[in-house]
Each structure stands twice: as structure tokens, then as C-alpha cells.
Structure 1
Amino acid sequence: MTDSMPLSEPLFMVRELDLAHGHLLLSGPNFDFDSFPEIAEQLLVCIDARVIEKELNADLHVWIIDFEGSRLLLKGEHYASALWIEALSSADNDALAFIATLLPRQSGQLC
């Protein structure tokens, strides 16, 4: 690899930050029910968060994560490959807003 090689696309990007509803919608790699944990762990590394608890539903993964003392929900719906983080309370909206600054909104910036 040379220094002139183009940067690869970021793995995760911010699609929308909706603080009124406490949601941070993300784009990332496509996943299915079985591959979600690997994808989610990669996201947690990008934002320096850790898993507290994992719950599996028929088509939805729900993880409680800790991000700098804030408890948030990381959710992944495999049919649509939808990935998002939710605040458990409005007090955690600042954490969502900060996470949104850690991930790129456009190509060319790496996570």
C-alpha cells in the first residue's frame, strides 16, 4: 500500500440525529440476525462504548450500552439492516449528540 492510496469508506455514518425523539440513526454494513453482534461490536469500538446487556427478539437486537456513563439502547433490525442508538431519557441526548460528532456524515472521513 502506498501513501497515495485513497482512503476507504467509513464503516459507520450518521444518517440522522433526532434529539426530539432521542434517536441517532446510522448507516453501516448490511447485516442479518446472525451477523449483527459482529457489526455492533465494531460500532462500539468506533465510539468507545461497552455492552451492559443484550436482548434478542424475533427480528430485533437490543443492547444496553454504556457510553461515558450514559446508558443507551443500541438497536438493530435485521430485515431492513436498520441500526440506531436511542437515549433512555432526555438527559442522555447530550451523549447521542456527542456520538454523532464521532462518526462521519459524509464519505472521506474515517471512523
Structure 2
Amino acid sequence: MPIHTTGLSREHLSLQIDADTDFDHFDGFATALAAMLDCRVVERQWGADRHQWLLDFEGSRVWLHYEFYGDICWLSVEHDSEFEILQFLHRLLPAGDCA
């Protein structure tokens, strides 16, 4: 699935990912994305309109989110000091296929 654009937000401690995915196909997209970023899937949560996966990147916790109604996907960290992880992962995301 192609990734069209990405964007970092220090204010929100997030990395937005604009990609061709949807709620029903998120599993395949997220699995491929985690592999491309060399992350291990620790936990998968989902509800009526949201997916939230906990990933491990070299011992650090990174959350992968997808919300159906906004059709938005993003990675996030919990602490300011971890923002550099998102900056590094951002450099690994080419505009192109990840599945």
C-alpha cells in the first residue's frame, strides 16, 4: 500500500502517515509497516472505529493508531524525550509501497 505523505508534530509527539489503507485492511497495512520499520508488534487493540497497536522499536514503546471516521493513521510516543524515535522512523518511510 503506497504511503503518500508523512509529517512530524513535536507538539503532539506524533508522525502522521497518509497511506492507502482503511479500517478493514488495516491489519495487513500495519503488519507490513511494522516490519518495514523493524518494529515488533506487542499488542493489538481495536474497537468500532479505531485500531491501536503497541509496537516495540529497540526497547521503546511506539503506538500505531488508525481512526476510521477521520481516515487518519499516525505513530506516537508518550514522552518528549522519545520524539527522536519518531524522527528516525520518519526517515525510514519512503513515499512508495509498504505492503
TM-score by length of 1: 0.77
Structure 1 gap ranges (5+): 1-9
Could you tell me how far 1:13 is from its partner in structure 2? 4.7
Structure 2 gap ranges (5+): none
List 4+ stretches of structure 1 deviating above 6 A.
Answer: none
Tell me what 1:24 maps to.
15
Could you tell me how far 1:91 is from its partner in structure 2? 2.1
The percentage of counterpart residues that share the same residue type is 32
Q: Indicate yes or no: 2:53 matched with 1:63.
A: yes
Picking from 39, 44, 47, the partner of 1:49 is: 39
Tell me what 2:81 maps to.
91
Write the letter of the residue equivalent to 1:63: W
In the comparison of the two structures, how many residue pairs are matched? 98
Could you tell me how far 1:35 is from its partner in structure 2? 1.4
Tell me what 2:71 maps to.
81
TM-score by length of 2: 0.85
More strand by share: 2
RMSD: 1.9
For the pair shown, the structure with the greater C-alpha radius of gyration is: 1
